[in-house]
Amino acid sequence: MTTIVQNPILKGFNPDPSFIFVKDTYYIATSTFEWSPGVQIHFSKDLVNWDVVGVLEDKRYLNLTGIPDSGGVFFSYEDR
- Is there a contact between 56 and 24 (Cβ–Cβ < 8 Å)? no
Structural domain that includes position 34: 10-58
Q: Is 33 inside a domain boundary? A: yes
Instruction: Flag whether pLDDT at 35 surpasses 80.
Output: no
In which band, very low, low, confident or very high, does the pLDDT at 24 lie, cut at 50, 70 and 90?
very high
Q: Is 35 inside a domain boundary? A: yes
Number of domain units in the chain:
1
pLDDT of residue 80: 47
As a whole number of angstroms, the distance between CA 8 and CA 56 comes to 22
For 43, residues 6+ apart whose C-beta sits below 8 A from its C-beta are 25, 26, 27, 28, 50, 51, 53
Q: Is 21 inside a domain boundary? A: yes
